[in-house]
Amino acid sequence: MKKMESIFESIIFASRWVQAPLYGGLIIGALLYTYQFMLELVHLCMTVGSISEEVLMLGVLTLVDITMVSNLLIMVIIGGYATFVSRMHLESHEDRPDWLQKIDAGTLKVKLAGSLVGVSGIHLLKSFINITNKNPEAVKWQIVIHVVFLFSTLMLAYTEKVLHSNHSKSSK
């Protein structure tokens, strides 16, 4: 019976590799976002002499938005893989991100939520810049959604702080 339990536990542990293709798909998603970024950048470069400052600002905010979503993808890919699939042997790599050594599932959630707040804020800023062309009801909903993201992020961060504080006290 002990041998069956050991085999079953090995299978359960190996099942984490089911997530590896998901991270591969997210890498493809990041490449698609990079392609979209380049298209927008080329478009802005080619039209900069004939567009208004407002349109330029919206274009630049789109670039910022794409970059923030791409950052979010990278955090999920690297942090998720390292947290849930397999340890990444990057200790001696000169470009190893500092946050990678401090990442756990809770910290990753807070970082992701913070990134979502940033993306939501960029979308809200784009709406404010172009407010005359927006439905006021839609802008109100964007504000409500942004505030919910912000509140959720603050609560996640507070919860993580409390959990880490309690964990530090209990390990002493």
Taking only the tens of pLDDT, the chain with its 172 residues reads 899 999 999 999 999 999 999 999 999 999 999 999 999 999 999 999 999 988 899 899 999 999 988 988 988 898 888 888 988 888 788 887 777 777 777 777 888 888 889 889 888 888 888 788 888 898 899 999 999 999 999 998 899 888 877 766 665 5
**Phi, psi for residue 66 in degrees, rounded to 5:** -60, -40
What DSSP string describes 60-127? HHHHHHHHHHHHHHHIIIIIHIIIII-----TT-TT--GGGGG--HHHHHHHHHHHHHHHHHHHHHHH
- Closest by Cα among 67, 57, 59 to 34: 67
Residues 6+ apart with CB under 8 A from 36: 66
Chain centre to alpha carbon of residue 151: 17
- The CB-side HSE value for 76 (13 A sphere, CA atoms) comes to 21
> Domain extents for the chain?
2-170
